[in-house]
Structure 1
Amino acid sequence: MRPPTPVQRKSELAAALGRFRHALIGIGAFTAAINLLQLTGPLFMLEVYDRVIPGRSVPTLVGIGILALVMFGFQGILDVVRGRVLVRIAGSVDEAMSGRIFDLAAKLPLKALTPAAFQPVHDLDRIRSFMSTVGPAAFFDLPWMPFYLGICFAFHPLIGAAASVGGLLLIAITILTEFRSRAPARDAAAISEGRMGLAEASRRNAEAVQAMGMAGRLSARWNEHNRRHLAAQQRVADIAGTMSTLSRILRMVLQSLVLAIGAWLVINQQATAGIIIASSILTSRALAPVEVVLAHWRSFIAARQSWRRLNGLLAAVPADRPRMELPHPSASVTVESVAVMPPGANRIVTQGVTFQLKAGQGLGVIGPSASGKSSLVRAIVGVWPTVQGKIRIDGAAIDQWTPESLGPHMGYLPQDMELFGGTVAENIARFTPDASSDSIIAAARAASVHDLILGLPQGYETQVGDSGRNLSAGQRQRVGLARALYGDPFLVVLDEPNSNLDREGDEALTKAILGVRARGGIVIVVAHRPAALAGVDMVLVMLNGQQQAFGPKEAVLQPQPAGQVPGQNQAPAAAYAPAARMVTPMTVRAAPRPQENTK
């Protein structure tokens, strides 16, 4: 799925920058003062050559020298202040957008958008870095170019014409640089994205890469990506470097040309010697912003690409709008004819699922692989959208809640569970800043993992490492279960929670499920192993993305009659048997599919 092009309305980045419009106006005022003070050098040289030298007046030289030093001092102070203000505006924009960018990066995998999750962060860094250089200051100086050319015309039309032609040639070089570098820069950005994606995938799958001897082949792919990336970067650098050198040579030729024209005018008594030097300085100053822009053109292109890409992603993943706070859920979870399509896909993987659970009930979702179980629970917890039907908690559709308001009442243990870098306690508490020790320990006890945590080197203060690498797979899963139970959430969804658990872990899981039900919560468990269903009272059978049976566990699953091979009975629901066999050697009895059930 490709992000949409930036919308015509004011983007979030533009709005963030617009908050500092008064500072930008101040920079404009500083730029005006700096450019007026830039006349100090030409005027000083004009006075020296036209007044001091012909008059041999040392006091005049000392006076104008002191005045020039004061003016140069003011110019330097204003230039430093302007640069520092630009750096602080860049930092403030970054600070204003950082939370939104992190939220965007976290949601990109849920939207199946192509950029890597770290790309928005890199884009914001690139924008901030460019805004902190002298490049933006040069753009503020560009509008003053006609002012200097006008003074050159005041000295003499020939001097003004020469300077104007040079300026037009530099502007033409800038435009040519833009057109020639646009496609290579775009290619370099796309190749860089694929290159970093390969590196991240290799890092996350380091064990499989090493065990199956894939390192060499992946290294060859990396080298190919890297070769193409370097080639694209070299094309951009060659274009920018060539144009920058051309502009520098042109400026030097132009200065010499202005000196020659000035000398000719002096010979013909149409100008003074001071005008020769002053005109050369003014011409150089008029063209300096264009040269600075060309020198920073690569950074400008990179920042512009990041700006456009970031605006497109921000438009594709809008911020959560404020919603009215709803009462804490406590009664029911209803699934109404739900159909689910994975983000970025064009095929429905789960459809026609309808059931209701009330407080204190536990549901086991069973079925063969690719039957839509995980897709269904991802929709129930709100990480995947539904393309049809509604999922309601206490009658309110889940899109009426924000993740922040519903999150404390939701516990989720995903199939591919990872922890975050930090302590065990921080992970269990979901990184809540003011989490109490009692609430953390209560969640650990509910998951029967308290004693296991105490056995770790630093107990609850043990650092789990990136993705929880300092813990075993079983320990990570049990800590993840404690995280799901933190704060006694009303709805707890566990996707294959016992895939890495031993017998003791299975018993702890059953105890946790029964504990949630006992306090009036609802548990939904996706299972392949029978131990995970010990604590539930309802069963949903999924097959080929569709609901096949739903009802009390005893009604949906029954022991296979003696001497009969599972799946060969003649019951009308015999087609459901393959799904049931994934869990237990029982077949499925035909059962009604009620829209609602009671305990």
Structure 2
Amino acid sequence: MSKSHVACEVSGALRRCRAGFLGVALLSGLINLLMLTGSFFMLEVYDRVLPSRSLPTLVGLIALALLLYAFQGGLEILRGRILARTGALLDQALGRRILELILRAPLRSPPGAAPTDASTLGEGLLPLRDLDTLRAFLSGSGPGALFDLPWIPVYLAICFLFHPLIGAAALAMSAALAAIAVLSEHVTRDPLRASTAHGATRLGLAEAARRNAEAVAALGMRERLIVRWCSANRDYGDTVLATSDTTGLLSNFARTLRTALQSGVLAIGAWLVIRGEATGGIIVAASILVSRALAPAELTIANWKGFVAARQAWGRLAAGLARVPPEALPHRLPAPAASLSVEDVSLVLPGNGRCVIQGATFSVGAGQGLGIIGPSASGKSSLARALVGVWPPMRGAVRLDGASLDQWTSASLGQHLGYLSQEVALFAGTIAENIARFEPDAPPEAVVAAARAGGVHELILRLPRGYDTALGEGGAGLSAGQRQRIGLARALYRDPFLVVLDEPNANLDAEGELALTRAILGVRLRGGICIVVAHRPSALAGVDMVLAVADGRVRAFGPKDQVLARVLHQGPAPDETTPLREVA
């Protein structure tokens, strides 16, 4: 996708918030005009009420000031509510794409890879945290301060109207605060980036330890992981403290300068009154006005940490969305029903560059079953991922009925695929929901049919609430074998044309392996294609073709008996050609 398209996608989220920003800008203008109430009230009291000793005038000024203050308070409440809803609108505009980024980005990284720094987007939940950072910033006081900044020249102009000396003092302090803001930008940018990186590492360690709590306890790794986490937590805390100390120092320095200037303006005003160049009301009015003129700059410096964090979060999200563009909507194709063909496919390990499959070519027709065998790390699982579109080929194509997989969207292709990975991933929800792939209003008969096809119907009925049994995260509450059999039923849901099973019998007992064989034969009998990646020959009982892989290359492809006799008993050398159907 072109950079301009990505830019349009990113800026589109802001364009949806444009009405809110315009409303905030308008309200900020009115609020800043009403901020003059205090200065002019004091000016009128000192220059009009006190000399005339007129109580009606004082009462009228008080009533008018209270009314203006009420309007000001109401407008500030309204501005805060608009900013909060603008943040929510931004969340809605980007939320779907952010979750898509979280789900798709790991497919572009090696299996099990962990992020090395905060710039490695898509690892873990960092994009979601970045979106939360943006929303929190928009809902805070930072944007209001930024919208108030353009009104500083107006206040300075009024200060010059009071007297050039007062205006010059306010202008000099504004320049000093601007320098502090520039310094704040310089000193907080890198520490904030580092704190984000350490925070991602810290959360990643905690999540990995929680997810593998059983292995951690059984292998005595708890203390070592705690020490490692404490080290990452210490690094995170140090960067957060360094950033907080710096921003706190600059913010307090700016506040001290503003307070000192306010007193200085009182002194200048008194001097001008003594010289007869100003009235008594100007002393207090100018002090209040200067304080108000510099308040947006002071508040901006106080919120600069959040501003830099939001800007960095926005940059990371923009970069992540650029790397994972939205899926195109190709022309809708008919359901595949005839063949699967792999044409000169070469696969590169995502995020690594290492070639794991080279020049694989074979084809399977409807009603056939294919077993993929080979030693560990030979590329079998990588090839399985390519067959279901998880990993796009670097070269060549995987085709269903002649159409390459990229001619389907993930949602439309998923209707025709069944996939069981080595690590069965079940989700928090009921068994029925997991089997139905969380399809809304899934037909109960289709769920039961899938369970029967996977040979797990009776097992489910023996559970406390049957199909309505609630599972914890990752399928907590079930044994590894039960999870694998329910994952098989999910792969068979709605009779997909192509079913790919990666080590489907790794955790199965004899009963489970018999059910697996029946499921494979069932797919073939209804005219589908079933592909099984296996180490144990028992998983190949239901297939009629075998593909042998070694060192990332297809070594043999043909009828099961011939290939197994050749590969399992004779063990061909890596460079040996085979008399079976040879694959280039």
Q: Same fold (TM over 0.5)?
A: yes
Q: Deviations over 1:360-401 (max 9, x none)?
A: 111000011011100101011111121111111111110111
Q: Which residue number in structure 2 is paired with residue 294 of structure 1?
A: 301
Q: In the TM superposition, what are the counterparts of 1:139-538 in structure 2 within 5 Å?
A: 139-538=146-545
Q: Which residue number in structure 2 is paired with residue 57 of structure 1?
A: 54
Question: How many Å separate the matches in 2 of 1:48 and 1:25?
Answer: 36
Secondary structure (helix, strand or coil) at the match of 2:195 reads helix
Q: In the TM superposition, what are the counterparts of 1:517-596 in structure 2 within 5 Å?
A: 517-558=524-565, 566-567=569-570, 574-575=572-573, 590-593=579-582
1:391–1:559 distance in 2 versus 1, CA, 3 Å: closer
Secondary structure (helix, strand or coil) at the match of 1:575 reads coil
Question: How many Å separate the matches in 2 of 1:576 and 1:259?
Answer: 91
Secondary structure (helix, strand or coil) at the match of 1:350 reads strand
Secondary structure (helix, strand or coil) at the match of 1:492 reads strand
Displacement of 1:352 in angstroms is: 1.5
Tell me the amino acid that sits aligned with residue 370 of structure 1: A
Tell me the amino acid that sits aligned with residue 31 of structure 1: S
Q: Which residue number in structure 2 is paired with residue 570 of structure 1?
A: none
Q: Deviations over 1:461-484 (max 9, x none)?
A: 111100001100000000000000
Tell me the amino acid that sits aligned with residue 582 of structure 2: R
Displacement of 1:7 in angstroms is: 7.5
Tell me the amino acid that sits aligned with residue 98 of structure 1: G
Equivalent in 130, 142, 154 of residue 135 of structure 1: 142
Displacement of 1:592 in angstroms is: 2.2
Question: How many Å separate the matches in 1 of 2:453 and 2:545?
Answer: 22
Secondary structure (helix, strand or coil) at the match of 1:243 reads helix
Q: Deviations over 1:57-93 (max 9, x none)?
A: 1111111111111111111111111110000010111
Q: Deviations over 1:184-226 (max 9, x none)?
A: 1121111111111111221222111111111111111111111
Displacement of 1:11 in angstroms is: 5.3
Q: Is 2:117 aligned against 1:110?
A: no
Contact conserved, 1:557 with 1:589, CA < 8 A, in 2? no
Contact conserved, 2:124 with 2:204, CA < 8 A, in 1? no
Question: How many Å separate the matches in 2 of 1:268 and 1:494?
Answer: 94
Question: How many Å separate the matches in 1 of 2:132 and 2:20?
Answer: 21
Question: How many Å separate the matches in 1 of 2:94 and 2:192?
Answer: 25
Q: Which residue number in structure 1 is paired with residue 86 of structure 2?
A: 89
Displacement of 1:15 in angstroms is: 1.4
Displacement of 1:8 in angstroms is: 9.8
1:235–1:264 distance in 2 versus 1, CA, 3 Å: same
CA RMSD of aligned residues (A): 2.0
Tell me the amino acid that sits aligned with residue 489 of structure 2: A
Equivalent in 11, 20, 25 of residue 23 of structure 1: 20
Displacement of 1:282 in angstroms is: 0.8
Contact conserved, 1:11 with 1:311, CA < 8 A, in 2? no
1:434–1:126 distance in 2 versus 1, CA, 3 Å: same
Displacement of 1:300 in angstroms is: 1.7
Displacement of 1:13 in angstroms is: 3.6
Q: Which residue number in structure 2 is paired with residue 39 of structure 1?
A: 36
Secondary structure (helix, strand or coil) at the match of 2:207 reads helix
Contact conserved, 2:418 with 2:498, CA < 8 A, in 1? yes
Displacement of 1:9 in angstroms is: 6.2
Of the structure 1 ranges 479-488 and 313-322, higher mean CA displacement relative to structure 2 is found in: 313-322
Tell me the amino acid that sits aligned with residue 346 of structure 2: A
Q: Is 2:85 aligned against 1:78?
A: no
Q: Which residue number in structure 1 is paired with residue 128 of structure 2?
A: 121
1:11–1:301 distance in 2 versus 1, CA, 3 Å: farther
Secondary structure (helix, strand or coil) at the match of 1:551 reads strand
Displacement of 1:6 in angstroms is: 8.7
Tell me the amino acid that sits aligned with residue 261 of structure 1: I
Question: How many Å separate the matches in 1 of 2:265 and 2:561?
Answer: 98
Question: How many Å separate the matches in 2 of 1:460 and 1:348?
Answer: 43
Secondary structure (helix, strand or coil) at the match of 1:420 reads coil
Question: How many Å separate the matches in 1 of 2:3 and 2:95?
Answer: 19
Tell me the amino acid that sits aligned with residue 366 of structure 2: A
Question: How many Å separate the matches in 2 of 1:7 and 1:250?
Answer: 45
Question: How many Å separate the matches in 2 of 1:474 and 1:11?
Answer: 48
Q: Which ranges in structure 2 are unaligned for 5 or more consecutive residues?
A: 110-114
**Normalised TM-score (structure 2):** 0.95
Secondary structure (helix, strand or coil) at the match of 1:333 reads strand
Contact conserved, 1:108 with 1:117, CA < 8 A, in 2? no
